């Protein structure tokens, strides 16, 4: 495990449910000098077929500084949201050209609904649209990301864009 990372296991709400919590205390420094903060909350659920590992929450945040106060965008996923926000959403930190938000609201507080976003999609976005240099040639990383993202999409939980009630 990387320096600055932590992991813990605790029993969940049911006897056959365990929460695997992890937290990367420091974001990953990218080749452009900026940072990517990645987190996953995992749970082991008992099923008739045996234990299954599920993602309970996750997030990706592209940030300018190490402490994350100057971030650009972020994706958040919460399988069991406690607020009336979309379980999967993204935020953009910036200024709008049009005056269309409610009084007192900033763009970075808006929860834009999204589908589950893979780490592979974020890596591709950073390389293709933010100019982060890849560590390997295009022919290698594109093929690896495509295969890995296809595997993710086969099993990813996709919830509604808002509360059921």
- Span 64-109, pLDDT tens digits: 999 999 999 999 999 888 888 899 999 999 999 999 999 889 999 9
The pLDDT tens digits of the residues spanning 20-51 come to 555 555 788 999 999 999 888 777 777 888 88
pLDDT of residue 2: 44
Rounded percentage of the chain residues whose pLDDT exceeds 90: 52
Judge whether residue 125 has pLDDT over 90. yes
Instruction: Give the DSSP letter string of 30-76.
Output: PTTS-EEEEEEEEEEE--TT--EEEEEEEEEEEESSTTSSSEEEEEE
């Amino acid at each position: 495990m990387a320096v600055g990372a932590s992991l813990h296991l605790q029993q969940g709400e049911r006897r056959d449910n365990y929460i695997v919590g992890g937290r990367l205390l420091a974001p990953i420094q990218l080749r452009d000098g900026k940072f990517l903060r990645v987190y996953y909350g995992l749970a082991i659920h008992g099923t008739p077929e045996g234990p299954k590992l599920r993602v309970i929450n996750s997030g990706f945040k592209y940030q300018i500084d190490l402490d994350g106060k100057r971030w650009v965008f972020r994706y958040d996923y919460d399988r069991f949201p406690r607020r009336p926000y979309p379980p999967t959403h993204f935020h953009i930190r910036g200024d709008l050209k049009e005056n269309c938000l409610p009084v007192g609201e900033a763009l970075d507080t808006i929860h834009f609904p999204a589908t589950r976003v893979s780490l592979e999609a974020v890596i591709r976005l950073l390389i293709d649209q933010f100019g982060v240099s890849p560590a390997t040639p295009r022919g290698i990383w594109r093929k690896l990301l495509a295969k890995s993202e296809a595997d993710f999409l086969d099993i990813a939980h996709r919830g509604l864009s808002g509360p059921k009630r």
